Amino acid sequence: MSGDLLVVGSVAIDSVETPFGREDEAVGGSALYFTAAASLFAPVRLVAVVGEDFPEERVAFLAERDVDLSGLVRRPGRTFRWKGRYGFDLNEAHTLETHLNVFEDFAPNLDPAHRACPYVFLANIDPDLQQRVLDQVESPRLVALDTMNFWIEGKRRSLLEAIERVDLVVLNEAEARMLADEANLVRAAQRILAWGPRGVVVKRGEYGAIYFADGHVFAAPAYPLEQVFDPTGAGDTFAGGMMGYLANTGNLDPDNLRRAIVFGAAMASFNVEDFSFRRLERLTYPEVAERFRRFKALTHFEADV
């Protein structure tokens, strides 16, 4: 059963420097990257907060993709700002500045249309807020949650409560190890699964993603690119592709989840080709479908010989 996809997270104005250039005051944030990706697959409803300085016109393309922006609330003050730098190791962001601004008082209140969404993505925000969303939604078919080291260290208890209540945990490798307090990734994933979720998706940057569920493992590489300009938002774009595909197909079977992960990896591979979500903005579904087929060519081998 396909259906609408709710995302609750941050919308930010980022200043990013990579070895290949810089971009100041770019629109970003976990929920926007997610939405820019997922909206190519399914009807998305976005819940987030911005300040008076937010350039609305930068998200006009989302409205054209039938994204419900009614939950993108504007508050007095400035938009959440993040400033970061990447070295040649594009897997690691160095945060230079974080200003929460209006995001500090973010307390998502869902409208009936939001509450009824069968697919829900809790982007990387305070686990208290993630739980606040969980309290409001009405029996969704699939809820996925992302998080980060800041919450793993600072709000562990609330985060574990949130994790118990979701179906999928999506996080990067270092976060998985930190959350489970276990250096071996397989055992880290098993520990997280034991807390309740039926799947753990571990994002590995330029090495792709690996999915763990009970008795089930699936590894997808990242797409080998000749040029990576800006990895900001790649993880949220991955989640957007994955959840968008699941919401569109309405099929939660393991086989379809594998395809969803590959669509996530495909979306992430586009996102890093340009700064901000410019590449996602001009991306078309046929391009995505073509890259999905290339992932097949990239990973396929005949086992019956």
Active site residues: 236
Window of 95-103, 164-172, 234-242, 253-261 that interacts with a second copy by CB under 8 A? 253-261
Residue 259: CB minimum distance to a second copy, A: 5
Amino acid identity of residue 30, one-letter, is S
Task: Provide the token pair at 101.
Answer: 């601004």
Residue 236: CB minimum distance to a second copy, A: 22
Residue 206: CB minimum distance to a second copy, A: 8
100 binds a second copy (CB under 8 A): no
Residue 30: CB minimum distance to a second copy, A: 25
Residue 131: CB minimum distance to a second copy, A: 31
Select 55 or 254, whichever has its Cβ closest to a second copy: 254
Task: Tell me the C-alpha distance between 34 and 51, whole Å.
Answer: 20
Residue 161: CB minimum distance to a second copy, A: 27
Ramachandran angles phi, psi of 228, nearest 5°: -120, 115
Q: Is 268 left (phi over 0), alpha (psi -120 to 50) or beta?
A: alpha
Task: Tell me the C-alpha distance between 254 and 241, whole Å.
Answer: 16
Count of Cβ atoms closer than 10 Å to residue 30 Cβ: 27
Task: Tell me the C-alpha distance between 54 and 161, whole Å.
Answer: 33
Can you name the residues that pair with 212 across neighbouring β-strands?
200, 217
Residue 12: CB minimum distance to a second copy, A: 27
Task: Provide the token pair at 169.
Answer: 């945990």
Select 107 or 303, whichever has its Cβ closest to a second copy: 303
Select 151 or 223, whichever has its Cβ closest to a second copy: 223
Contacts for 89 with CB less than 8 Å, ≥ 6 apart: none
In the stretch 203-232, what mask flags binding to a second copy with x, by CB under 8 A? -x-xxx-x-x----xxxxx--xxxxx----
Site for a second copy in 15-74 (CB under 8 A): 19
Do residues 127 and 158 make contact, with C-beta atoms less than 8 angstroms apart?
Answer: yes
For residue 31, give Cα distances in angstroms to 185, 215, 229.
27, 31, 21
296 binds a second copy (CB under 8 A): yes
Window of 52-60, 115-123, 141-149, 186-194 that interacts with a second copy by CB under 8 A? 186-194
Select 91 or 158, whichever has its Cβ closest to a second copy: 91
1 binds a second copy (CB under 8 A): no
Select 84 or 264, whichever has its Cβ closest to a second copy: 264
Q: How many residues bind a second copy (CB under 8 A)?
A: 40
301 binds a second copy (CB under 8 A): yes
Total count of residues recorded for the chain = 305
Task: Provide the token pair at 118.
Answer: 């069968």
284 binds a second copy (CB under 8 A): no
Q: Using the rule CB under 8 A, which residue among 107, 112, 139, 183 binds a second copy?
A: 183
DSSP state of 214: T
Task: Provide the token pair at 257.
Answer: 């989840």
Ramachandran angles phi, psi of 95, nearest 5°: -75, 125
Does residue 247 sit in helix, strand or coil?
A: helix
184 binds a second copy (CB under 8 A): yes
Question: C-alpha angle with apex 69: 285 to 197, nearest 5 degrees?
Answer: 70
* Contact set with a second copy (CB under 8 A): 19, 88, 183-187, 190, 204, 206-208, 210, 212, 217-221, 224-228, 255, 258-259, 261-262, 292-293, 295-296, 298-303, 305
